[in-house]
């Protein structure tokens, strides 16, 4: 049975500056942590970097025309801190002008611009002064946010402070998988707090300027599920993953406190790291972190099916098979083991679980968003597959099914009473996939990196059909 979406529901697609823009050192832009990290031997597959990427900096008008052709109602993009305020210094007029032109192009095409201030590309010069482990970076981020608002606040109404602070802290400062590549529990904890503090501070400053704008944050969230719900060890493993992945960010944003059980889990492993973290959380900080937001962005890619007993599935210690040593991004994962439940997987090795998205939205709504009166948006959801070009076309049947199933799962959440107001597929374009370089393709539009030719995949056509009809079939899972 085909069912329809509410008339106000937004369909869009998402990208990130470093992953698509290219022009890495043009018009005053200087190195970000990713420009630096990509040049560390063994950090990124094939030594790939984002110097050119999808050349969106020069091809943005054509890309916006493509968005219009697909029927996108909204486009979620990020501004590059290193382009707007190179090295964290004064505003770069040429850099901010690019985003002004992009916003104008979107508005002319009838597409809502949805701006993310930080999608992981902090200036390398700021990292060298401590990065997110330094409280001073909070001030630098607020300066940057205000600079972007100076230029775009008259036309952009939807503002996201950070994309996936779990990745910017634990995956980057504890696990070493992402830039800057540190491997420290202490540094990950400090980074997580300063990211959240900068989120609250930026919203307070921007709201003071214009209370009519909508501000929020995007979290990558998962379902921490016990392999055997009746087994106390499995239950505890799921609690710990949920705590370190979800509640570490949801609780301070919505409840003004860090989850006490997770703090104690980490203290048992690294008491010095927790002591440093507790010293960094100053009086009044959590009141700032819990500044009310107008929306919460939810990024969903897969679930976590775990046990407290040893299994034959290795723990995820960094995603990309690079030569550079890494460690678990979870500060306290001892005794947590992953279980394979036999689901179909993407080429990232991630399970395809349509029902997981519905269940996650219901849980986040009931426990956090709905009591605060905050609507949800699925700001990222996507899949990498080994696409092939056949006679100039890409018949990506697996991604077609992925899009259809997850969009249907969002509708099922709405029908269950969840206030979900939009869905953004990740990603509009194949792009630079961080430590994977150009090995993985998530786009509904294929990019030939040699010629920069864009080819709409079957999944892009299917998404355009869903948008045009505003209807989808049941997920079936």
Any catalytic annotation for residue 164? yes
- What 3-state class would DSSP assign to 252? helix
Half-sphere exposure of 238 (CA within 13 A, CB side): 20
Concatenated DSSP letters for 269-320?
A: H-HHHHHHHHHHS-TTHHHHHT---SEEEEE----EEEESS--SBPP---SS
Burial classification of residue 205, based on how many CB atoms lie within 10 Å of its CB (0-12 exposed, 13-18 middle, 19 or more buried): middle
Distance between CA atoms of residues 91 and 94, nearest Å: 9
Within 8 A by CB and 6+ apart from 139, the residues are none
Measure CA 202 to chain center. Answer: 18
Nearest-5° Cα angle at 38, 35 to 39: 90
Say which of 21, 105, 127, 164 is annotated catalytic: 164
Instruction: Tell which residue, 226, 243, 244, has the closest CA to residue 235.
Output: 226
Q: Which DSSP string corresponds to 183-221? A: --HHHHHHHHHHHHHHHHHHHHHHHHH-TTSEEEEEEE-
Active site residue 380: yes
Q: At what angle do helices 260-269 and 185-209 cross, to 10 degrees?
A: 150
| Residues tagged active-site | 164, 380
């Amino acid at each position: 049975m085909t069912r329809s979406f509410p008339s106000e529901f937004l369909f869009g697609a998402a990208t990130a500056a470093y992953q698509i823009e290219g022009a890495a050192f043009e018009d005053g832009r200087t190195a970000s942590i990713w420009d630096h990290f990509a040049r560390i031997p063994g950090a990124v597959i094939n030594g790939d970097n984002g110097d050119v990427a999808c050349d969106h900096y020069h091809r943005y008008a054509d890309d916006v025309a493509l968005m219009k052709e697909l029927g996108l109602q909204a486009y979620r993009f990020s501004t590059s801190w290193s382009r707007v305020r190179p090295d964290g210094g004064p505003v770069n007029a040429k850099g901010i002008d690019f985003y002004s032109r992009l916003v104008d192009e979107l508005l002319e095409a009838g597409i809502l611009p949805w701006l993310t201030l930080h999608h992981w590309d902090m200036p390398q010069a700021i990292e060298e002064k401590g990065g997110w482990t330094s409280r001073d970076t909070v001030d630098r981020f607020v300066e940057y946010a205000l600079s972007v608002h100076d230029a775009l606040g008259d036309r952009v109404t939807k503002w996201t402070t950070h994309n996936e602070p779990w990745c910017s802290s634990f995956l980057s400062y504890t696990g070493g998988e992402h830039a800057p590549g540190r491997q420290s529990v202490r540094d990950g904890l400090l980074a997580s707090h300063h990211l959240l503090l900068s989120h609250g501070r930026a919203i307070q400053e921007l709201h003071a300027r214009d209370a009519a704008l909508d501000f929020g944050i995007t979290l990558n969230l998962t379902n921490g599920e016990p392999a055997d719900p009746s087994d106390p060890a499995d239950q505890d493993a799921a609690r710990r993953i949920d705590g370190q992945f979800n509640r570490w960010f949801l609780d301070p944003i919505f409840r003004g406190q860090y989850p006490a059980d997770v703090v104690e889990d980490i203290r048992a492993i690294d008491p010095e790291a927790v002591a440093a973290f507790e010293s960094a959380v100053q009086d009044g900080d959590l009141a700032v972190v819990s500044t009310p937001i107008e929306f919460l962005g939810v990024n969903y890619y897969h679930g976590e099916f775990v046990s407290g007993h040893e299994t034959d599935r290795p723990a995820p210690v960094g995603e990309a098979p690079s030569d550079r040593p890494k460690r678990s991004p979870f500060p306290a994962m001892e005794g947590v083991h992953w279980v394979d439940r036999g689901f179909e997987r993407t080429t990232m090795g991630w399970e395809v679980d349509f029902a997981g998205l519905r269940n996650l939205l219901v849980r986040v709504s009931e426990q956090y968003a709905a009591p605060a009166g905050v609507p949800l948006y699925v700001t990222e959801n996507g899949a990498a597959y080994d696409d092939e070009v056949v006679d100039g076309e890409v018949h990506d049947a697996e991604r077609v099914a992925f899009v259809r199933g997850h969009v249907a799962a969002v509708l099922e959440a709405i029908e269950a009473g969840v206030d979900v107001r939009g869905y953004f597929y990740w990603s509009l374009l194949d792009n630079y996939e961080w430590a994977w370089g150009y090995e993985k393709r998530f786009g509904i539009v294929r990019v030939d990196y040699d010629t920069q030719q864009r080819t709409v995949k079957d999944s892009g056509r299917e998404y355009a059909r869903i948008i045009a009809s505003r209807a989808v079939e049941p997920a079936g899972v």
